[in-house]
Amino acid sequence: MKRTLIALAAGFAVAGMASADPIEGTWQTQPDEGRVGHIQVTPCGDGFCGTKVRTFDTSGAPVQSPTDGVQIVRSMVPQGDGRYTGQVYRPANEKVYSGKAAVDGNQMTLSGCVAGGLICKSQTWVKVQ
């Protein structure tokens, strides 16, 4: 009986890992305003949201930032083939942009767009967890 319970628990753990969406995890941003951040992306509503959990200076030293704990990626809804649409918040200018993301392995290209998506600025983030 005990072995059966352990096998069931292990099976559920593996099934949970297998069903994780590729966008889920912790991502390191490109340098912006002289700092990099770690953004933790988790399910929220019908999509995924990403909150800044840590900040580092460009030498890699941890620093305190008023944007730690701020939701950067908002309501990114899967569109298929590793692509998502939603919103992106840029703390440097306190604006929310129409956003899109594309995940390919351990890299994600995240874009904030204006003018109906005609003009976009992108960053490539690397998955750290």
Task: Return the CATH number at 107.
Answer: 2.40.128.520
Sign for the pseudo-dihedral over CA of 59, 99, 127, 16: positive
What pLDDT, on a 0 to 100 scale, did the predictor assign at position 33?
Answer: 83
Which domain, by its residues, includes 35? 23-127
pLDDT for residue 89: 95
Give the chain's residues under pLDDT 50. 1-17
Residue 112 placed within a domain: yes
Question: Residue 5: inside a domain, yes or no?
Answer: no
Q: Is 84 contained in some domain?
A: yes
- pLDDT value of residue 19: 63
Q: What is the DSSP letter of 16?
A: H
In the prediction, which pLDDT does 7 show?
40
Q: Which amino acid type is present at position 123?
A: Q
Structural domain contains residue 18: no
| pTM for this predicted structure | 0.81
Q: Which of 105, 122, 99, 94 lies closest to 50 in space, CA to CA?
A: 99
Residue 14 forms part of a structural domain:
no
* Residue keyed to tokens 């959990």: 53
Quote the number of domains for the chain. 1
Please write the tens of the pLDDT for every residue from 17-45. Answer: 456 899 999 999 999 888 999 999 999 99
Give domain status of residue 114, yes or no: yes
